[in-house]
Structure 1
Amino acid sequence: MTSETGALADLPPSPAVWCSGLRKRYGRRTAVEEVSFTVARGEVLGLLGPNGAGKTSVIKMLLGLVRPDAGEVLLLGRRASDPRSRSAVGYLPELFRYQPWLTPTEVLDLHVRLARADVTAAEREECLALVGLAGRTGDRVGGFSKGMQQRLGLAVALVARPELVVLDEPTSALDPVGRVDVRDIVLSLKARGVAVLLNSHLIGEVERVCDRVVILDRGRVAASGTLAELLGQREVRLRLAGVDGAGEDRLRAAGSLNRSGDWFTVQLASEDDGVTVPDLVRDLVGLGVRVHAVEPVRISLEERLLAVLRHDEPEAAPR
C-alpha cells in the first residue's frame, strides 16, 4: 500500500448527504433558494417547515428525482447525478402506491431485483417482521389500510440494507403504536451507523429522534443546528424550604440563580448531560433542604419553529 493510499484510508468517511446552494424554480415560483446542509453518517437530521416550504422539493433534488437549477449534491461521497450514488439509499416517499394484486413478499422481491441487491429470503421476512407485517406477508396489498401500506413502504426503504434512509412523512398514516415502531426503527438505524433524513410534521417525533434540525421557510434555510443550539439554555424551577447559605451556594454552583419567594430558578448549560438536576436535588436534600417541587423549563421545538416562522423569539415556558 502506498503512502498516498494509506493517507486516504485515514480520512474520515464523507457525509451521507452534502448539498450546497440548491435552487429550484417552477415557472415564476421559487420553490427552493440557496439551501445547504449535511447529514453525517449515523446521524438523524429532521427537516421541518410549513406546507410549501420546499421540503419535498429538496428531498427530490437530493435523490435525483428533480434536477436543481443550481447547486450541488453529494450522496455517500458521489455526485447525485451518478446513479451509483443511490445504490445504498432507502427512500420512503410521501405519496406512493404498490400494485394491489401483489403481496408484501412479492413487493419486496420486486424491489430487491430492481435494486440488484443481494438480500436473502430470510432477510426479507425479517424486514417485514420489523415493520409489523409478519402476519400479513401473503395478503394482497389492495386490501391494506393506509397505515399498513405505510409500514410496507418503510420495509421497501429498509430491505436493501441502505447506508442512508430518506423518510418523507413516514408516520402520516400510522396510529400511536405505529409511530413508536417507526421511532424505534429510526433509533436502531442510527445505532448501526445508518444516516437518516426525516421529513415530518409531527414535531414531537422529530424532537425525540433527531440529532439536528433544519427549518425551511419559503424555500430557504431559516434556522439549523442541534436541538440544544436551537432550543437554547434550559432552566429548572425548584420550590424549596429551609435553604441556608450552603444551599444557595450549591444552587449557584449548578448555574445562574434567581429567587422569588420559595421558588428558585437555576439556568442550566445547553450541553447539560442530564445529571445536573438529579445531583442538585440529591445534594440539597443532603444539606437539609426540603424539596417540594422540581419543574423543568425549556422552550419546545414547536415554540422554536413558530418563532422562526413568525420572526420572533418566544419566552421559555414550563412543560
Structure 2
Amino acid sequence: MTSSDLNEELEFRYSGRRILVTGGAGFLGSHLCEKLLALGAYVIAVDNFYTGQRRNIAHLVSNPYFDIRIHDITFPLYIEVDAIFNLACPASPVHYQYDPVQTTKVSVHGAINMLDLAKRRKCRILQASTSEVYGDPSIHPQPETYWGSVNPIGPRACYDEGKRCAETLFFDYWRQHKLPIKVMRIFNTYGPRMRLDDGRVVSNFIVQALKGLPITVYGDGLQTRSFCYVDDLIDGMLRLMATPEYITGPINVGNPEEFTMRQLAELIVQLTGSKSTIVTMPLPQDDPKQRRPDIQMAKQILGWKPHVSVSDGLAKTINYFRDALASDLKGSSRDVFARRRESVVS
C-alpha cells in the first residue's frame, strides 16, 4: 500500500464517519482521537478517567467534531457509530494490579459490550490487544502464530489473560456473527501524554532521571523490550482498521529494535543530562525476560514499519515530561498558596 493509496483509503474510511474511541482520554486514545479528527471524522471518545487524563484532550474539546463522554465500558453503551476502536483498559502493572478484578472486567465485559454495539450497528471494530498475550515467550522474536506462555494465576494475569480472552471473544463474534473485526497486538509504546505515574519503564526512567533520583532497574537489567513511538503506533492502527474486511489479524505492531533495561536507562540518563545513578531491585513475578515483535505481517499487509528512532522519540518524550513536571510543580505551589490564604482568612 503506497502513501498516496493509504491517504485516499484513510480519508474514505474515516472522513465524515462517526468513530467511537474507548479510552479516548488515555495516552494512546488521545493521540488516536487527534489523528481521526485530522482525517475528517466525527469522534466520540468515552473514558471513565481511571487512568485517562483530561489534559490529554483539553486541546480537542473546542472542536465541534469531538465529543467526550464519561462512561465505563463494563456497562453497555447505546450510541450511533460507524466504527469502534476499543482501547479502554489500564495498561501499566501499577494501575491494572491495583484492582485486578475490575481490570479483567474491562477486558472481558468491556469487549462483550463493544462487540454487541458493533453487532447492533453492523460496523467494524478494532481491539487494542497487547504483546502481553505472549507472556514470558519461549520463541524470539514473537510471531502472531505463537500461542504464548502466560501464567494464568499470577499477579499479571488479570491483564494478560483478560486481553487473551478479549481476543477469543473477538474471533468468536467473527465466526459466529460474521462481525468485521481487527485485532492488533501492541508492543511497548511510549511518547507524550503518558502519565507521570504511569509505572512503565520509559516513564519511570524519565521521571527519575529528570528529578535526579536513582533509576530503578529490576533484576540484572538484561531483560529486553522493544519500544515504539506513539505516532508510528497510531499510524499502524489506522492502517489496520482501513484494511478489507477479510483481514482480521492479529497483527503485531511495534518497533523490533531491542534494548536491555540497562541500555535504556543509560540512554535516558544521557539524553536528559541527568546525574542519576542506576540501582537494581528484585525482578517482579512473571516479568518477561525478552520481548520483540516479528513485524513481517505488518510490513506485508499494512505496508507499515516504524519511522521514529528510539533516540528521537525519547527526546520528544523527555521534553513532554519536563514540561509536565514543571506544570505540576506550579500547580502544587498554587495549591499550597491557596491553602495558606484560606487559613489566614479563616
User: Structure 1 length normalisation: TM-score?
Assistant: 0.28
Larger RCO: Structure 1 or Structure 2 (Cα < 8 Å, ≥ 6 residues apart)?
1
Larger Rg: 1
User: Structure 2 length normalisation: TM-score?
Assistant: 0.27
Q: Which has the higher helix share?
A: 2
